[in-house]
A and B are shown apart, each in its own frame.
Chain A
Amino acid sequence: MTSGTLFLAIAYIAMIGIIGGWTWKLLARVGELSERLSAAESTLGISQPNVEEE
């Protein structure tokens, strides 16, 4: 491991974790907010908005 392979692996695992975790969080948040908006808007009787138009 004197060539640095272990350090290389640890660094990439950390970066994959940060970027992957962040992306996952973003996608989950979009889904959650869309659901909550739909529920709130249907309660108010507002026509269903299209997230695509955001």
Chain B
Amino acid sequence: MLTVAVALTLLGLMLAAITLWLGFTWAPGVNPDDWKAPEAYRILFWHVPAAWASFQAFTLLFIGSGAWFLKRLEWGWKLHVVGAQLGLVFGLCVIISGPIWGTAEWGTPWDLTDVRLNTYAVLTSLSLFLVMGHQAQPDTEDTRDTFSSVGLFGFILVPITIMAIRIWQNRHPGPVIGGGEGSGLDPQILMVLLFGLFSFQILVAGQVMLRYIIVGLEDRLTEIQGKLDTRF
């Protein structure tokens, strides 16, 4: 399983690098008259896949939280931990790259009136809270219940964030796939974006497996250290 996890992670990184190369060399530029910073649009080749990767991580967090909270399943807790960490990693990618693009294109990094930006920031903050909480608090059933309930109720922000640009679009660009009339992308740009989404799928799969293996190893080490303590 470790070999598969490492192979998927490295393959995902390699494909993500190819996405970047295609995005810079093969994808055409956009009309400079329509955009203030036309070259900066190429941020979407990683920004959008990272956002979708984070939504997948938050889904794992939700499933894991439910499995622990409702059934006391150990794999559920492991999935909760993995989902929170990956949600934070990919969430940070989005929350950092977005405002940099915003500064170039809008002239401001943030817009407090934009629902999409704000709900996504809360979602990433939630994963930060969980990751810090896991490190700071003792691993007891009570703390697991508390963190799991946060993971369960926090998930409501995922559909709200996804639908925000369709319902209350303000500053953030509208959906580029399935956005209806007037939306859509140049076929070459779309192809690179889809390749990027595929790359991040592979990367997420590899990283979920790797992190899951680590949680298992940590548990086994704790168990063995307990045996050592009683023996010596």
Q: Which residue of B lies closest to A52 (CB)?
A: B2
Report which of A2, A5, A23 forms a contact with B207, defined as CB distance below 8 A: A23
Instruction: List, in ascending order, chain B residues with CB within 8 A of A29's CB.
Output: 214
Q: What total of A-B pairs shows CB separation below 8 Å? A: 114
B98: nearest chain-A partner, CB-CB = A11
The contact of A3 among B13, B20, B37, B211, by CB within 8 Å, is B37
Residues of A with C-beta under 8 A to B213: 30, 51, 54
A36 to B16: give the CA distance in the assembly, Å: 33
Known: A27-B210, A33-B218, A54-B1. A4 touches B104 (CB 8 A): yes
Q: What residues of B have a CB within 8 angstroms of the CB of A19 in the complex? A: 13, 16, 89, 93, 203
Residues of B within 8 A of A15 (CB): 46-47, 50, 93, 96-97
Contact A11 B32, beta carbon cutoff 8 Å: no
Name the distance in Å between A25's Cβ and chain B's nearest Cβ.
Answer: 10
Q: Which residues of A contact B47 (CB under 8 A)?
A: 11, 15
A44 lies within 8 A of B32 (CB):
no
Bits for A23-38, please: 1 = Cβ < 8 Å to B, else 0: 1001101100110110
Can you name the residue of chain B whose Cβ is closest to the Cβ of A20? Answer: B13
Q: Which residues does chain B contribute within 8 Å of A44, judged by CB atoms?
A: 224, 227-228, 231
Q: Which one of A4, A20, A40 lies within 8 Å of B37 (CB-CB)?
A: A4
Within 8 A of A (CB), among B1-42: 1-3, 6, 9, 13, 16, 20, 32, 36-42
Residues on A with C-beta less than 8 A from B211 are 26
Residues of A within 8 A of B231 (CB): 44
Given known contacts A2-B37, A18-B93, A33-B214, A7 and B220 CB-to-CB distance under 8 angstroms: no
A26: B residues at CB distance < 8 A:
9, 207, 210-211, 214
- The chain A residues found within 8 Å of chain B, CB to CB, are 2-5, 7-8, 10-12, 14-15, 18-20, 22-23, 26-27, 29-30, 33-34, 36-37, 40-41, 43-44, 46, 49, 51-54
The contact sample of 22 A-B pairs, CB cut-off 8 A, is A3-B38, A3-B40, A7-B37, A7-B101, A8-B40, A8-B104, A11-B97, A14-B97, A15-B46, A15-B47, A15-B50, A18-B89, A18-B92, A18-B93, A20-B13, A30-B210, A36-B221, A37-B220, A40-B228, A44-B228, A54-B216, A54-B217
Using A51-B2, A52-B3 as known contacts, list a sample of 6 further A-B pairs with CB atoms less than 8 Å apart, ordered by residue number in A: A12-B20, A15-B96, A18-B92, A29-B214, A37-B221, A51-B213
Shortest 6 CB-CB contacts between residues of A and residues of B: A4-B40, A4-B37, A7-B104, A4-B104, A3-B39, A11-B97
